[in-house]
Chain A
């Protein structure tokens, strides 16, 4: 039973010219169909303008398809009276850490969601404590968000979403504005939550290193879903990804370059360890082949 199901989703919008009359249609999402199972860690990849963020906003009914249907936990996002339930089940963390924090005290911001849901006061505090613990931000509960780093702010945002007890969290480029340490912090926090709480994670990103941890990867281009598969499968297509204005981790690029030069390295290398193992295998094979050839020559 999918937690998110897109059935030929289309999203078009009109942009009016300066005269206010002529409208230009932009097809931001074209015929996207996909299924996401509960508990998975999904990545949606695409260059800026590929439609990935627009698609993400359909998953919590911030946008409604102009064609096709989006189902969130079996609820149709077209139904107005289901909207608030949908948004409770599917929480969202946005790109700009500052522009999603409402309150000037961390713990109060985490409680904002539960307050909106009408959760009783005592229960709100339980959830706030719990979420802050799980994202490692409990020590900062009384702090002003202004004094936190980007990574810490995003963790507060994640805690705020978790306090609503969602079934899945959609993260719309949450690390785009962070430094490398902040990025690590956030991805680690979200992976931990996925494993310990079983919450489905949908990560929209263009950072290739973040994608290697996913169970399944969707690649978007020009509003369409163009590739699907495990990270290894996706990263095997280095040249296609390049044509889609995407990149692969440097180690994968190196493996690909060496394969082109004749080395017998498997496709879809994802980590440094895999790469080093593959190279050493080739090296040792070479050594033993040379040794055999040597002994063969001696025998002759």
Chain B
């Protein structure tokens, strides 16, 4: 069961978006997030149009997009209510001590849109890009940081190994939990403190196991001549195609339009 869960689940399909270089998607998502904070009012229309276009291009069913929202809907409602009732300004509705202002409505709406679009935007990236491609993209994009002694390659390697082992460790957690339950461990009852203490028989073996695996894996990697990033070639080197350059152009225009709208039109 746990074997099928991956972080930011990848949805395989044959779309333009899937074929784009992962660096384009990574930068594109950043640009989109920035634009969400640039927009003031009507600018969000441009943001919405862009999002819908990208969703269509990805060929991923809408249902998958909104999955990520399930996790944060409580936060969403909470933020909206806070903004709705606590923002000062021109009152449009009142009931006793509760009041809603025009500014409150607009702030709540903006917050909600930003949050929702942000999540959907990030989802599109992870739905159309495999975790390995994402780490490849980040390794390539952050390479300049090597000059300031940031271990970019090592971090990227750690991330992709972590991704590989997440399903394994999840399965192992399940096994350990069952083994302790077989000895009468109780994970259901008790107050918060008791329940946290009850986790020890799961966490300790899990940590020990993770370290053991790391040790074994290190030996195996060394046996296969791994010696860091120097001198390594790649099976799938990232090379820009024409469509990637076109995508960069579109993104650039989008960002420019967003800035113009804000600065010139206050949208």
Contacts and interface: CB of A to CB of B under 8 A. Distances in A.
B225 A113 contact: yes
A125 B236 CA distance: 10
B221 interface: yes
6 nearest interchain CB pairs? Answer: A100-B220, A99-B216, A113-B224, A116-B225, A92-B223, A111-B235
27 contacts: A60-B223, A62-B222, A87-B222, A87-B223, A87-B224, A91-B223, A91-B224, A94-B223, A98-B168, A99-B212, A99-B217, A103-B132, A103-B160, A105-B132, A107-B235, A108-B132, A111-B235, A116-B232, A117-B225, A118-B233, A121-B236, A121-B237, A124-B233, A125-B235, A146-B168, A164-B224, A164-B225
Residue of A101, A104, A124 most packed against chain B (CB within 10 A)? A104
Interface in A90-145: 91-92, 94, 96, 98-105, 107-108, 111-121, 124-125, 128, 144-145
Given A87-B222, A100-B220, A115 B164 contact: no
The residue among B221, B224, B231, B233 with the most chain A CB atoms within 10 A of its own CB is B224
A218 B93 CA distance: 90
A164 B226 CA distance: 12
Contacts of A112: 221, 224, 226
A161 interface: yes
Interface string B202-236: 00000000001100110111111111000111111
A231 interface: no
B20 interface: no
B167 interface: yes
Contacts, number: 91
Given A91-B223, A92-B220, A103-B164, 19 more contacts: A60-B223, A84-B227, A87-B223, A91-B224, A99-B212, A99-B213, A99-B217, A100-B216, A102-B220, A105-B132, A113-B225, A115-B232, A116-B224, A117-B225, A121-B235, A121-B236, A121-B237, A124-B233, A164-B224
Interface in B88-142: 131-132
Interface string B151-184: 0000000001101100110000000000000000
A88 interface: yes
A128 B3 CA distance: 25
B249 to A, nearest CB: 28
Interface of A: 60, 62, 84, 87-88, 91-92, 94, 96, 98-105, 107-108, 111-121, 124-125, 128, 144-147, 160-161, 164
A92 B164 CA distance: 21
A125 B235 CA distance: 7
A101 B164 contact: yes
Contacts of B161: 102
Contact of B221 (A102, A105, A164): A102
Nearest to B212: A99
